[in-house]
Amino acid sequence: MTTTAQLNGLIAKSQPPDGWQRLKLDDVIVEAQLGFACGERDPNGVVQLRMNNVTNDGRLDWSSFIRVPADADTLAAYCLKNGDVLFNNTNSTDLVGKTALFESYDKPVVFSNHFARIRTDAEKLYPRFLALWLQHQWQRRVFANICDRWIGQSAVQRDKLLALEIALPPLAEQKRIAGILTEQMAAVDAARRSAEAQLQATEALPAAHLRAVFNSPEAQSWPRKKLGDHVTKVGSGFTPLGGQSSYQQSGIPLIRSQNIHMNRFERDGLAFISDGQDAEMEGSCVEKGDVLLNITGASIGRVCIAPAELCPANVNQHVSIIRSDGFFEPAFLAFYISTPDFQKFILDSQAGATRQALTKIMIEDFQIPFPPLDDQRRIASQLSSQMASAARLRQTLADELDAINKLPAALLREAFAGKL
């Protein structure tokens, strides 16, 4: 664990900008008061802020809070005032130290023992500047390095916090920097919300594309066929003797449920077995064009086409192989199984079951709408193109959101280096 002195030594190696002075936090505050624990609840009591009420980006979250009983003495000791800085002194190691400024709330509010209420010397330190600086230190993992750790919980002791050194410009400059940063953070937050909304809309595209095909008037006229009448194989495998301990770094691929996502195969976590184990699992061999369907657990119903480059491969007991007799296009079947309506059918068929599982008989009894084979191929090609476009857009937006999420740290870094 890094000591406060060691951290201050590292800080001192970078000289503060001209006109700034380095001071211990203890020299520029008038109070660092810990909150109080309360197991009681009172619907008519006062709001008590807890760990969940401070976000990772340094804001107060009022969407969910508790009320506790509080007498006059409690309010006198623990009531928050506008301009108080709330420092999360106790949390998990990764979250300890997140900070928010208390402001714009005119009703009595108290705080739990997971926080320290910091009040600044008004002539030396602007509260918003301090809140942003503490948030910057949290992002730099300063508090993760100086906290005391127990099982499931970490805490920054008061003396360690107050011994930290802060580089301070004159008060007017603190206010200028804090004002610009606040505007920048608000702009980043607006950009983040916009990107998140766009990403959420993009997540709905695959289902919309599927509904446009399979809920169309044309689809209502397609004849329905029992799946079992047009397959040459429906079956799953098993875990080789020795379980995961028998897996290898290379060899014959063993496809498991974690490899199968909705219309997408994920190679991460792919297991391999030996030739001898493959011979034992002859009945679960995967061929090019097979439809792979997860048949147990939370991922039940996820479906994709077996990647040609992995075949031959095997599946374990959580995955079923569906092999066409040539009557249907495998990708068409996979797309139909992945529709919201059919996924709901799968889940509804498991209602009341003690263990979610699709059996061979259940799969063979699936009633599937099958247009002519040429139409199946055209539809599968169209949907494949649409899904690929949606995936590219989703990745673009995810990259944009990732870049936006990195902006606050960069802005804080520039500000406290005197470059704002």
* Tokens of residue 270, six digits: 């792919």
Specify the range with the lowest mean pLDDT, choosing from 63-67, 172-176, 243-247: 243-247
Whether pLDDT at 281 is above 80: no
Dihedral in degrees, nearest 10, Cα atoms 252, 256, 259, 263: 110
Mean pLDDT along residues 24-42: 96
Task: Give Dmax over CA atoms of the chain in angstroms.
Answer: 84
CB-based contact 238:316 (threshold 8 Å): yes
CATH 3.90.220.20 fits 4-168, yes or no: yes
Whether pLDDT at 102 is above 80: yes
Nearest to 289 by CA among 268, 315, 310, 272: 310
Compute the mean pLDDT over every residue in the chain, rounded to the nearest whole number: 92
- Per-residue pLDDT, 230: 96
The pLDDT-based confidence of 7 (bands split at 50, 70, 90) is low
What is the rounded CA–CA span in Å between residue 107 and residue 346? 51
Listed in sequence order, the residues at least 6 apart from 383 whose beta carbon sits closer than 8 Å to its beta carbon are 209, 210, 213, 331, 335
pLDDT in tens, 201-257: 999 999 999 999 999 999 999 999 999 999 999 998 887 776 777 788 889 899 999
The pLDDT-based confidence of 279 (bands split at 50, 70, 90) is low
Whether pLDDT at 274 is above 60: yes
The pLDDT-based confidence of 11 (bands split at 50, 70, 90) is low
pLDDT in tens, 284-329: 899 999 999 999 989 999 999 999 999 889 999 999 999 999 999 9
- Per-residue pLDDT, 245: 72
Q: Which fold has domain 223-370?
A: Adenine-n6-DNA-methyltransferase TaqI; Chain A, domain 2 (3.90.220)
* Tokens of residue 236, six digits: 């799953």
Specify the range with the lowest mean pLDDT, choosing from 69-83, 175-189, 272-286, 400-414: 272-286
Mean pLDDT along residues 111-128: 97
